[in-house]
A and B are shown apart, each in its own frame.
Chain A
Amino acid sequence: MEEDQSILELQVDETASKNLSDATRWAKFLSITAFVCMGLVVIFFIALRSQIASAFSEVIPGFSDIDSLGMLIGIIVIAAGIVCLLMYFLFRGSVLIKKGIESKNQDMFNHGLASLKTYFIMYGILTIIGLVANLVSIF
């Protein structure tokens, strides 16, 4: 009975495995690149904080005080943290899906899909927030 059901079920066949493996390879590359870039942005920002503060103070009067700079660094660190969390789920998803396909482990494959789902949920929420902010900026 169970065998009959598994024949009728959708399979991760050779084509699906190849496409998913390729997708996860690129997703893994993307997530690692994002981790490195976020790290570099934070290091770059902290190292050049005085130059950045003077550049901002030319555009925004009264920016040069230490509170404004601290707030800006805080915003950058929080933004980098959010991006890293997003990319963590993409990285985890890609690793688990690939391992699941290679070892034909259903649990691992499903956990990978769960992580990919979390990534897309988070990405969707951030996109909606971005759109709302964009709409607000018009008015």
Chain B
Amino acid sequence: MEQDIENSLFDLSVDETAKDHLRRICSWTMIIVITAVIGYVVAIIKSLMPKAQVLQSEGFGVSVSRGQNPGSVIFGVIFGLLINYFLYQFSNRTKKGVNGMSQTDLNAGFYNLKIYFVIISVMVIIALAFVLLFFLAVGANGATK
């Protein structure tokens, strides 16, 4: 018990400045989540709109694609919702932790922030791998010609 109290005296504390920063971070992450969810609804609406419109330009018809493939939109929305779920959990639990002085909620909030960054980083690594594969395929194609 005494050891715990001594340890806590030497730990970093979440002082008033840190609490203020964390509250602001929570507010903005909640704004990001809400904006993202509205964005997904807009993306779904756009994907259901008529696909292409023809712009007439001095006698030449130029087809301009409007809206994305519904499959890619659904994939994007599912992926986005997954990321934003963890951001929402971070915002919610950290706010509870800071306002209610709950160490468990604060720790859960930080855990969700970690998962949020891990998922984004893994997705970035996968995307970079695809880009690299694309360039390798283009290079190999060019070399065989």
Contacts and interface: CB of A to CB of B under 8 A. Distances in A.
Main secondary structure of the interface of B (DSSP, over half): helix
Contact of A123 (B22, B32, B97, B111): B32
A39 to B, nearest CB: 14
- The A contact surface, by secondary structure, is helix
Contact of A10 (B14, B46, B49, B120): B14
A101 interface: yes
Given A130-B39, A138-B42, A100 B28 contact: no
A114 interface: yes
Interface residues of A, number: 47
Interface in A28-49: 29-30, 33, 37
Contact of A61 (B22, B49, B60, B103): B60
A22 B128 CA distance: 22
Nearest to A121: B28
The 3 closest A-B pairs by CB, nearest first: A26-B117, A113-B21, A12-B12
